Amino acid sequence: MAEPLKHDRSDRSDRSDPFDPPAPRPGGIAARARATTGNAYLEGLNPEQLQAVETLDGPVLVLAGAGTGKTRVLTTRVAHILATGRAFPSQILSVTFTNRAAREMKDRVAAMVGEAVEGMPWLGTFHSIGAKILRRHAELVGLKSNFTILDTDDQIRLLKQILSAADIDDKRWPARVLAGMIDSWKNRGLLPDKVPAGEAASFADGRGAGLYTAYQERLKTLNAVDFGDLLLENLRLFGKEPDVLAQYQARFRYMLVDEYQDTNVAQYLWLRLLAQGQRNLCCVGDDDQSIYGWRGAEVDNILRFEHDFRGAKVIRLERNYRSTGHILATASHLIAHNESRLGKTLRTEAEQGDKVSVTGAWDSEEEAREIGDEIETLRRQGHKLSQIAILVRASFQMREFEDRFVTLNLPYRVIGGPRFYERAEIRDALAYFRCIVSPADDLAFERIVNLPKRGLGESTLQTLHDYARAHNAPLMEAARVLSATEELKPKPRGSLRDLTLAFERWRGQMEAMPHTELAEIVLEESGYTDMWQNERSADAAGRLENLKELVRSMEAFDNLPGFLEHISLVMDVESGAGQDAVNVMTLHSAKGLEFDTVFLPGWEEGLLPHQRSLDEQGRAGLEEERRLAHVGLTRARHRAKLYFASHRRIHGMWNSTVASRFIDELPEANVEVTEAKGGWGQPASRFERAEPFSSTYGTPGWQRGRAQRDENGAKNSTKNGVKGFADKHQRGFKGGPGTIDGKVVGRTSAPRAAFVLGERIFHTKFGYGEVTEVDGNKLTVQFDKAGEKRVIDTFVDRV
């Protein structure tokens, strides 16, 4: 994944924005810090930060708002512990969620205390540390220390096998759904026997828990774990082996946790067990940035910290060093609408800067055009594109921007797309390597046994499975034995023999040659690279390139097993030459990043807040969406620009949309409502600059929109779903050529007479045309100018 971005308040000296003065550094305090301790690394910390660094004994919760220097606190705290000799590097447990965060922390600690971090073996992600502990004690939980870590793909394939073995219709009860349930159980620290009866019953007529059990058993036979197990098995280990637990409790004199608001129950339990030893647990987080509730994060963990860890000290970091005044005030005012929060008041000493802008566009295309234009202007003024980001709620929004940027010839990069390791060719190659390192890795074997095609089909594989089951042997072994018998037809038999011999040969070469060389040989001799070379599809070349990249990335490791361990936990490869390009990503992937200019399109009801969140999570969902909006705003250093469109194409059809309620929740004093320059002429009267809010929100269109929104919101009605999106009362909003500004075309709720074929109509976006097909409320229209389009009948008028 490309990762040219800076986080938090990392080095600011290379900031590119020529118009911005350097951000203020907290001054004065440094002197005090020096006087107190004489430690250079404490210089420049503000009093709260200093307190967070120096409060070493007992549980500490650092509530660190966006841009308040939390990473700095965390790294300085480590440096402080080391510098004051309170612990050796190997006695500090420091956990993060992502590899990116772990890497950053490692780098920054290293920069502060020199190379001592080489010796910080317990700095890493929850999963990598869980894996490390588990490998040391694997036998105690029924594994061997070289267990394989399955990813989601393997997990699903395994569950499919289990479902079919249990004779359950994969159609009615999809494996991915079961995988999701098992994940959520594991997230909550639930072993199969602890799963609440109701939940277990909700899958396959009550067989959910049984399937979970079967899955766990199968994992043990395969000597494999999934991601959830890395923690769950730790919990099981600590539960049944108090000695082992005590050993780690004694070891970890200091524990640090980043992004505590994202921890799930299993992680919480894990931390709590380990912290019971020394009780020196420091959790850093921000409840206002909790945006992963849907994947098991428990905001409660942070909300209840003081209760769970008695005597905990809570320190608030509220001085923001990132954003200008208007941006910070806007974000704070918005998030203040949430009820479930600990409450912080962010402040800054930075200048007010530009107001946050809110721009209404006619439709999502105009929105993209407008943003494209503004970016070009910024570029002309000398701003770096890499300091500009477009943050969207859902990835389908990205497409319009990509289209636009391609026509403008504006370099952009999409962050967080399909990831390197998820590509089929990478997973195939890894499966080959896994088969070499772990001959018993059945999942890997199955993946590549007939790839490239070797004439080994369903029936051959079935024979292998039968033998394997009967002799309790891995598939590889079954293949070796059976290829020496008359059991199989000559052709598959020959292929299998060749394959097993090849694997034995490669395994033999493992010691003799560098693993990168072996990797190349394997991909070559197996016919795998040939397979892609012979394929003349458009992306074959890219896949071959990816394979080379994979081999190249192996150079950083000592051997094949080491590489595989890394890849199963990290699975991302540094790439992206870091050229100057606009960053396009989702709000979720923007967490932890910052940019000079942030564009936030799509602030519409149903999209942000997302309808689905509202339907499924009610008020909690709304609050999480609001936090998402807050995260978006707080990514901006100097310019935050919000947009909403009145029409958006969703699933190929144009829907009328209403501005997000979050726009109503912004403080007038810090926001400026502007008008899109595009040609569709939002009537100026509605977007008066002088009195933006009164005039904007006073129009009939707005009021109806709001009325309808309230109606929908009050009930959290599921039935409305995306239909709430298609606002039939928005007709006064249209502003295409030939309409009268601001004129409201009244409409009753009575169904209108159906359109008939051949009828002439007018559409606010596409102009005049003729109906060629009617399908309920959907019309196919041959437009005079725009060609054939499918539209909704409420957007067209008879002429």
Partner DNA sequence: TGATGCTGCGTTTTT
Partner DNA sequence: CGCAGCATCA
Out of 43, 57, 107, 170, the residue judged to bind DNA by CB under 7 A:
170
Shortest Å distance, C-beta 633 to DNA? 17
- CA separation (Å) from 749 to 497, 720, 723, 763? 73, 16, 15, 20
Which is nearer to DNA, 173 or 693 (by Cβ)?
Answer: 173
Residues 78-107 within binding reach of DNA (CB under 7 A): 97-100
Which is nearer to DNA, 261 or 613 (by Cβ)?
Answer: 613
Cβ atoms of residues 52 and 77 within 8 Å: yes
- Told to check if 290 binds DNA by CB under 7 A, we report no
Shortest Å distance, C-beta 626 to DNA? 13
Stretches 135-143, 317-325, 434-442, 581-589: which one binds DNA (CB under 7 A)? 581-589
The type of residue at 350 is A
Residues 239-278 within binding reach of DNA (CB under 7 A): none
Residues 402-431 within binding reach of DNA (CB under 7 A): 416, 419
From first CA to last CA, the distance across the chain in angstroms is: 53
Q: Is 289 among the catalytic positions?
A: yes
Orientation angle between helical segments 515-525 and 540-554, nearest 10 degrees: 150
Stretches 134-142, 235-243, 449-457, 540-548: which one binds DNA (CB under 7 A)? 449-457
Non-local (6+) Cβ contacts of 184 within 8 A are 296
* Among 548, 510, 552, residue whose Cα is nearest residue 532: 548
Which is nearer to DNA, 381 or 772 (by Cβ)?
Answer: 772
Site string for DNA, 560-579 (x = CB under 7 A): ---------xxxx-------
- Told to check if 619 binds DNA by CB under 7 A, we report no
Strands lying side by side in the sheet with 92-96:
123-125, 92-96, 254-257, 281-285, 60-64, 313-317
In angstroms, the CA 725 to CA 607 distance is 9
What stretches of 513-595 show up as alpha helix (H) in DSSP? 515-525, 528-534, 540-554, 560-569, 587-590
Cβ atoms of residues 389 and 584 within 8 Å: yes
Q: Is 70 among the catalytic positions?
A: yes
Burial grade of 650 (CB within 10 A; 0-12, 13-18, 19 or more):
middle
Residues 11-40 within binding reach of DNA (CB under 7 A): none
The three-class DSSP label of residue 285 is: strand
- Told to check if 613 binds DNA by CB under 7 A, we report yes
Site string for DNA, 526-555 (x = CB under 7 A): ------------------------------
Cβ atoms of residues 211 and 177 within 8 Å: no
Shortest Å distance, C-beta 176 to DNA? 8
Which is nearer to DNA, 171 or 310 (by Cβ)?
Answer: 171
Which is nearer to DNA, 480 or 588 (by Cβ)?
Answer: 588
Shortest Å distance, C-beta 350 to DNA? 29
* Among 56, 16, 649, 103, residue whose Cα is nearest residue 364: 649
- Told to check if 695 binds DNA by CB under 7 A, we report no
Out of 404, 588, 626, 648, the residue judged to bind DNA by CB under 7 A:
588
Which is nearer to DNA, 177 or 744 (by Cβ)?
Answer: 177
Which is nearer to DNA, 54 or 151 (by Cβ)?
Answer: 151
Q: Is 677 among the catalytic positions?
A: no
- CA separation (Å) from 584 to 26, 436, 528, 574, 778? 32, 39, 34, 18, 33
Shortest Å distance, C-beta 128 to DNA? 6
Which is nearer to DNA, 99 or 280 (by Cβ)?
Answer: 99
Q: What is the DSSP string of 690-724?
A: SSHHHHHHHSHHHHHHHHHHHHHHHHT-TTTGGGG
- Told to check if 295 binds DNA by CB under 7 A, we report yes
Cβ atoms of residues 647 and 731 within 8 Å: no
Shortest Å distance, C-beta 152 to DNA? 5
The type of residue at 146 is N
- Told to check if 127 binds DNA by CB under 7 A, we report yes
Query: Of 261, 263, 289, 516, which is the active-site residue?
Result: 289
Q: Is 708 among the catalytic positions?
A: no
- Told to check if 616 binds DNA by CB under 7 A, we report yes
In angstroms, the CA 33 to CA 72 distance is 15
* Among 543, 551, 544, residue whose Cα is nearest residue 573: 551
Query: Of 48, 104, 151, 258, which is the active-site residue?
Result: 258
* Among 58, 46, 498, residue whose Cα is nearest residue 316: 46
Query: Of 108, 591, 635, 734, which is the active-site residue?
Result: 635
Shortest Å distance, C-beta 400 to DNA? 12
Shortest Å distance, C-beta 753 to DNA? 25
- Told to check if 456 binds DNA by CB under 7 A, we report yes
Out of 31, 165, 240, 294, the residue judged to bind DNA by CB under 7 A:
294
Which is nearer to DNA, 392 or 663 (by Cβ)?
Answer: 392
What are 255's strand-pairing partners? 93, 281
Which is nearer to DNA, 227 or 252 (by Cβ)?
Answer: 227
Cβ atoms of residues 682 and 733 within 8 Å: no
In angstroms, the CA 123 to CA 117 distance is 9
Q: What is the DSSP string of 311-364?
A: T-EEEEE-B-SSS-HHHHHHHHHHHTT-SSS-----B--S---SPEEEEEEEEH
Q: Is 71 among the catalytic positions?
A: yes
Tokens 């036979």 sit on residue = 221
Out of 46, 75, 91, 128, the residue judged to bind DNA by CB under 7 A:
128
Shortest Å distance, C-beta 126 to DNA? 7
The type of residue at 386 is S
Out of 455, 679, 698, 738, the residue judged to bind DNA by CB under 7 A:
455
Which is nearer to DNA, 222 or 569 (by Cβ)?
Answer: 569
Query: Of 49, 68, 71, 76, which is the active-site residue?
Result: 71
Out of 68, 586, 670, 708, the residue judged to bind DNA by CB under 7 A:
586
Which is nearer to DNA, 453 or 689 (by Cβ)?
Answer: 453
Size of the site for DNA (CB under 7 A): 41
**DSSP 8-class letter at 294:** G
Query: Of 70, 207, 454, 480, which is the active-site residue?
Result: 70
The structure tokens listed for 401 are 């921007």
Cβ atoms of residues 549 and 593 within 8 Å: no
**DSSP 8-class letter at 513:** S
Shortest Å distance, C-beta 402 to DNA? 12
Shortest Å distance, C-beta 682 to DNA? 26
Site string for DNA, 358-397 (x = CB under 7 A): -----------------------------------xxxx-
Tokens 């079967």 sit on residue = 214
Shortest Å distance, C-beta 602 to DNA? 11
Which is nearer to DNA, 184 or 340 (by Cβ)?
Answer: 184
- Told to check if 583 binds DNA by CB under 7 A, we report no
- Told to check if 148 binds DNA by CB under 7 A, we report no
- CA separation (Å) from 406 to 369, 401, 402, 418? 12, 8, 6, 20
Shortest Å distance, C-beta 33 to DNA? 33
- Told to check if 227 binds DNA by CB under 7 A, we report yes
In angstroms, the CA 142 to CA 67 distance is 45
- Report, in angstroms and rounded to the nearest whole number, the Rg of the chain calculated over CA atoms: 29
Instruction: Give the residues lining the site for DNA (CB under 7 A).
Output: 97-100, 125, 127-128, 151-152, 170-171, 227, 294-295, 393-396, 416, 419, 450, 453, 455-458, 569-572, 585-586, 588-589, 610, 612-613, 616, 651-652, 790
Q: Which residues form the catalytic set?
A: 70-71, 258-259, 289, 635
